[in-house]
Structure 1
Amino acid sequence: MDVLSPGSIVDLIPAYGLWLLFAVVMLESMGVPMPGETALVGAAIFAGTTHRLGIGSVVAVAAAAAIVGDNLGYAIGRLVGVRLLVRYGHHLHLTEARLRIGQYLFRRHGGKIVFFGRFVAFLRAFAAVLAGANRMPWPHFLLMNALGGLAWASLFGGGAYLFGETVKRVAGPVGLALLAAAAIAVVAGSMFFRRHEAELERRAAEAIPGPLAG
């Protein structure tokens, strides 16, 4: 049995309950590929159908795990991410000027990325690491991370508890729609970046003078 598959995670909830939920959501938030959303929905449905778990505990544990995992991911990105990008980024056409732009944009819009990233599979796993690597101020990160984690756990956990399998079926299409929207935003952002890269470099250099942090 593949214990990392979404179906297997759900099957293990009756035996391990909130401990499993906390571990899966925390690891996903740190950047480890894990089905955190599936674990949350599965635990909430289990709570609603068996009443062996309280939905308040499910939401609280999922939100706490998201916050803890994201802060660990932020620390990893902050301590290691920038050094790796500065040293090896040129292999990916990430010059120091472009890395500086990344830090500049994350300082201006990082809150939106961290909050809404909680609802998009790819960003849910890597937004915290990217926030740390791009030197997003930690107090702002912590606030938006906590708000995003609480909103995500409440919406998906509470919804699954109330509507059961319906939410489980809808979560997939909603996630795909959000992922498609994110992909469109990335393409649009890339086009904008190419047209305004020189101006962004100038603004980033003014906002973050001196050697690149890390």
Structure 2
Amino acid sequence: MLAEWAVNLMQTLGGVGAAVVVGLDNLFPPIPSELVLPLAGFSASKGVFSLPAALFWTTLGSVAGAVIVYLAGMLLGRDRTRRLVARIPLVKVTDFDKSEAWFTRHGTKAVFFGRMVPLFRSFISLPAGVERMNFPKFLALTTLGSLIWNTAFVGAGYLLGENWHRVDAYAGIFQKLVLAALALAVALFVATRLRHRPKPDPEATEVFRRVKQ
């Protein structure tokens, strides 16, 4: 059972175990972060490590896993990355295609918000690596997005204790809020660009009109 294995690993290795478990979420997407993160909070509530340590190690694991995936995308390129994804058990190539389309459409915002959406959080690093996104920016956005996501679920697991499994019931609501925030961010970006669009030069407009005549 995944939950039992994760708890045993955390009890054996402490914070390092939490980092390993969470990092695997990036390397093997079928491992759900919505499960392992509350378990880290539960372990913290039992005194395996402190709550700040749980947040530090889980975020470190998230970032480390994301960096490995980023480097894989950068070194392999799109076609070989896509073929590799097709060989991963329980993973569909369409998941990579959707993440790539999301990255193409939203750019750096996709890296930040993608850390808070299941499957996308694992795959979004691949197109970022393929497109050789600025690494310091990738690292900063990945760290911030991971910290927000991890704080929500580790904190919930810490507060619920033995009832950590109830976190899953609220995961869908949190994910919808993230997607709504992304849509709002895109809308504000477009509105700002349109508002500050340079006004046409009257003289240039007149010259263009005369040329057309």
Same fold, judged at TM 0.5 (above): yes
1:1-214 equivalences under 5 Å are 2=1, 5-48=2-45, 50-84=46-80, 106=103, 109-165=106-162, 168-169=165-166, 171-177=167-173
Q: Which residue identity does 2:114 align to in structure 1?
A: G
Query: Given that residues 59 and 150 in structure 2 are in contact (C-alpha distance below 8 angstroms), is that contact kept between their aligned partners in structure 1?
Result: yes
Cα displacement (A) at 1:11: 4.5
How big is each residue's C-alpha offset from its partner over 1:5-26, in whole Å with a ceiling of 9 and x where there is no partner?
Answer: 2343234433333222111211
- Aligned-partner SS, 2:116: coil
Query: Given that residues 29 and 119 in structure 2 are in contact (C-alpha distance below 8 angstroms), is that contact kept between their aligned partners in structure 1?
Result: no
**CA shift in 2, pair 1:71/1:157, >3 Å:** same
Query: Given that residues 6 and 35 in structure 1 are in contact (C-alpha distance below 8 angstroms), is that contact kept between their aligned partners in structure 2?
Result: no
Residues in 2 aligned to 1:176 and 1:6: alpha-carbon distance in whole angstroms: 20
**CA shift in 2, pair 1:110/1:168, >3 Å:** farther
Q: Which residue identity does 1:114 align to in structure 2?
A: V
Residues in 1 aligned to 2:44 and 2:148: alpha-carbon distance in whole angstroms: 19
Q: Which runs of 5+ in 2 are unaligned?
A: 85-93, 181-213
Name the stretch that deviates more: 29-38 or 61-70. 29-38
Q: Which residue identity does 1:84 align to in structure 2?
A: R
Q: Which residue identity does 1:123 align to in structure 2?
A: F
Give the TM-score, by structure 1 length: 0.63
When the two chains are superposed, the root-mean-square deviation of aligned CA atoms in Å is: 3.5
Pair member with larger Rg: 2
Q: Which residue identity does 1:156 align to in structure 2?
A: F
Cα displacement (A) at 1:77: 0.9
Q: Which runs of 5+ in 1 are unaligned?
A: 89-93, 185-214
Cα displacement (A) at 1:119: 2.0
Q: How many residues are aligned here?
A: 168
Residues in 2 aligned to 1:19 and 1:131: alpha-carbon distance in whole angstroms: 26
**CA shift in 2, pair 1:75/1:154, >3 Å:** same
Query: Given that residues 31 and 129 in structure 1 are in contact (C-alpha distance below 8 angstroms), is that contact kept between their aligned partners in structure 2?
Result: no
Query: Given that residues 106 and 136 in structure 1 are in contact (C-alpha distance below 8 angstroms), is that contact kept between their aligned partners in structure 2?
Result: no
Partner of 2:197: none
Cα displacement (A) at 1:179: 6.1
Residues in 1 aligned to 2:127 and 2:27: alpha-carbon distance in whole angstroms: 11
Query: Given that residues 81 and 129 in structure 1 are in contact (C-alpha distance below 8 angstroms), is that contact kept between their aligned partners in structure 2?
Result: no
